[in-house]
Amino acid sequence: MEKKRCEWVSGDGQRHISEESLRYHDTRWCKPEHRDQELFAMLVLEGMQAGVSWDIILRKECNFRKAFDGFDPQTVADYDEVKIGELLQDAGIIRNRRKIEAAVTNARAFLKVQEEFGSFDRYIWGFTDGKIIDHHLSDMRDMPAKDELSERISGDLKKRGFKFVGPVIIYSYLQGIGVINDHWEYCDFR
């Protein structure tokens, strides 16, 4: 018997769903992530996604991981103009100067958060006291683009110097790292 998936990945028969999107939905989306390096990776990927389909980001994820040194925040924080120039020439990633520079800025801010809180995990999950927010969705129209939590976290991140962290990006980020569970009630991958 075929497994049921959330509407956004099961599609309506009008569009092709990539293997990367299926795998992401089934194994990572809305699943709690606590490893700081992966929390940083998702922050960069979500920022890169602004104005681009998530499917494109997922198809390029391996290229991003290679280009950004496995998303090691310490390494990315040390990127200089030469490295940024190299990234702007890499056809395997999104070559947007503002987004690439934001990744470097965010790596530096990320390290400061780690220093202050002991880990980025402790900081980000602290907004919900380590609890998962489960919206128990049953319809695509019920999923918000942002909410009070994403607005609060977005504001705090911006105060800390992060870029490309608006409330819509942060809502998607919170889903991606499992703070928010927006799998449909009928989804077999809840």
Which residues are known to be catalytic? 24, 46, 54
- Residue 133 DSSP symbol: E
Listing DSSP states for 136-179 in one string gives -B-SGGG--S--HHHHHHHHHHHHTT--S--HHHHHHHHHHTTS
**Angle subtended at Cα 39 by Cα 184 and Cα 103, rounded to the nearest 5 degrees:** 115
In angstroms, the Cα distances linking 80 to 74, 75, 100, 112, 116 are 13, 10, 11, 19, 25
